[in-house]
Structure 1
Amino acid sequence: MTATAAPAPAEETVLSVSLRAVAVIAHRDLLRQVKRPGVLLSQGVQILFFVLVYAVGFDGMIGSVGGVPFSAYVFPGIVAIQVVSIGVASGQTYAWDREFGVLRELLVAPVPRICLPLGKVVAGAGMVTVQSALMLAFAPLMGLELTPVRYAAAVGCYALAATVFSVIGLCLATVIKRMQTLQATVQLAMFPMLFLSGSVFSAADAPVWLAAVMHLNPMTYAVDLARQTLLGGHGLLVWWADLAALGAILCGVLLLLRARSGK
């Protein structure tokens, strides 16, 4: 019986070492982000721009969408824009580490290779989730009724979205080797993804061909889930369909990341 029970501690040790490696890499990336206040400031200016232009500027012109003030309708999508933009761009830190040889040094550590990208996912998704939680505190100014339960559920939605798109960004970084090509690809992909997600207009009012394209956009499901959570309805799909779609996308990109990180 003693010989049979012996492998268990070894498995626990491997798991604990892997978790510690993920935590160390996440801590390193978080410190790097905190030490660059200019980046955080530029991200705050971007979200302020979207709020002023779409939520405030268009509110008087458009009025309401489905009986909901336009500022309240568009606010969940504005937060999602910030979450997705930073999430996808977080993959560039992986490319920088590879460019300057840091990745080579980290890969010699006696831990599974998947720990490196997972640590970056934890750091990127964690930072974006905190930012979304702060932005959601201003939801009442946009005409949204924010209860504690609704606030917690919305933070959970954005945390899931941040995780999904951080993994997507890392997958891009493992597929595209050149830093300049990666930056150009991210910029090229971001604008269609952001504006064909229903973040700033109602997907139900779009032409049939455009609605079909929007259903192929993974961000559409993140925006729709957050909007239903904050508004209590007004969704393109039922909430569990959005959740299932995001879960399926996350599983798919995690498998791809696992395959790419093993090389």
Structure 2
Amino acid sequence: MASGVTAPGVAGVRVPGRGVRHDLRAVKIVLHRELLRFANDRTRLVSTLFQPVLWLFVIGTGLGGLVARGPAQGVDFRTFIYPGVIAMTVITTAMFSAGSIVWDREFGFLREMLVAPVSRASIVLGKCLGGGLVATVQGCVILAMAGLVHVPYSPGLLLTLLGEMFLAAFTITAFGVSLAARMKTMQSFFGVMQMAIMPMIFLSGAVFPLAGLPGWLGALTKVNPLTYVVDPMRHAVFTHLAVSPAAARTLNPGVHWFGHRVPIGLELGIVALMGVALLGVAIAQFRRSD
């Protein structure tokens, strides 16, 4: 119910009560703001695409000779790293979206959102959905380059990758929001971001196969959350390629626990559960924010 306060000679003030309807509207507004910010920042679009394109067409081409002489002969190395480059694009963009919270805090806009008559959970949810959608849209640019690296434009494959991209983007945005909620400066946030994201990318199998790794390195890839993002994407790509069994075992071995391959559905479930858990952490951080 709306509350009103009146006094002699003072106009009444009505403060709208909180409810599900207001919270859903807040989610929509925050999401819409993320999309507008992305659409108006073309420099960000170009800069965040530079590194993935560099990996795909420069490093991928340069290292292609190593694959051509190995058991995966006949498979373009760029085709192998293509799912990892998609994941890299989505993850980087999602973290940049989450980092905008620090900008909002520095310029005072975050305080205005926090004092609005809506739950802080709705603000966080709108931020995570917006960041996930923006990162997915950015990933679609790399998705459009599939034919250049011998990946077919199969509708089923594209839809599968889109769903996996959004799931990964939402989870990473929630992770970034939980970090940014307590950061005071952009320098601190990006320092922590680089320290967290770069090792996770390199230990996810994005740029090298998971087969035949030393025991210590294999253990690190299994406990790395991003491994369960890259592997489903690579599995989706390789199921649409005509490759030899030897190449498939080398380049797409999957993730194994105790000698058994982890099902793709379980991997996606792990990512989804992490997304929900990180969303809860981010909401808790915002409720403690001043």
- TM-score, scaled relative to structure 2: 0.81
Shift of 1:175: 3.5
Which residue identity does 1:31 align to in structure 2? L
1:217 is aligned, of 211, 224, 227, to 224
Shift of 1:173: 0.8
The 10-residue stretch of structure 1 (37-46 or 178-187) with the greater mean CA deviation from structure 2? 178-187
1:100 is aligned, of 97, 107, 113, to 107
Aligned partner of residue 119 in structure 2, secondary structure: coil
Mapping of residues 14-163 of structure 1, within 5 Å: 14-63=19-68, 66=72, 68-163=75-170
Cα distance in structure 2, aligned partners of 1:65 and 1:35: 47
Cα distance in structure 2, aligned partners of 1:120 and 1:79: 21
Which residue identity does 2:41 align to in structure 1? R
- Point out where structure 1 has 5 or more consecutive residues left out of the alignment: 1-12
Which residue identity does 2:132 align to in structure 1? A
In the alignment, is the contact (CA less than 8 A) between 2:94 and 2:134 conserved in 1? Answer: no
Cα distance in structure 1, aligned partners of 2:129 and 2:269: 21
2:267 is aligned, of 228, 242, 254, to 242
Structure with the largest fraction of helix: 1
In the alignment, is the contact (CA less than 8 A) between 2:205 and 2:230 conserved in 1? Answer: yes
In the alignment, is the contact (CA less than 8 A) between 1:221 and 1:243 conserved in 2? Answer: yes
In the alignment, is the contact (CA less than 8 A) between 2:102 and 2:184 conserved in 1? Answer: yes
Shift of 1:225: 1.0
Shift of 1:140: 2.1
Cα distance in structure 1, aligned partners of 2:134 and 2:71: 31
Shift of 1:66: 4.5
In the alignment, is the contact (CA less than 8 A) between 2:94 and 2:131 conserved in 1? Answer: yes
Identity %: 34
1:174 is aligned, of 173, 181, 200, to 181
Matched, 1:257 2:264: no
In the alignment, is the contact (CA less than 8 A) between 1:54 and 1:200 conserved in 2? Answer: no
Larger Rg: 2
In the alignment, is the contact (CA less than 8 A) between 1:77 and 1:223 conserved in 2? Answer: yes
Shift of 1:144: 1.6
Which residue identity does 1:18 align to in structure 2? D
In the alignment, is the contact (CA less than 8 A) between 1:84 and 1:219 conserved in 2? Answer: no
**1:226-247 deviations in whole A, cap 9, x for unaligned?**
1111212722232112112102
Aligned partner of residue 101 in structure 2, secondary structure: helix
Cα distance in structure 2, aligned partners of 1:213 and 1:248: 20
Q: Would you say how many aligned residue pairs link Structure 1 and Structure 2?
A: 251
Cα distance in structure 1, aligned partners of 2:121 and 2:172: 17
Which residue identity does 2:279 align to in structure 1? L
Displaced runs of 4+ in structure 1, greater than 4 A?
64-67
- TM-score, scaled relative to structure 1: 0.89
Shift of 1:178: 4.0
Aligned partner of residue 35 in structure 2, secondary structure: helix
**1:116-145 deviations in whole A, cap 9, x for unaligned?**
222221221111111222321221221223
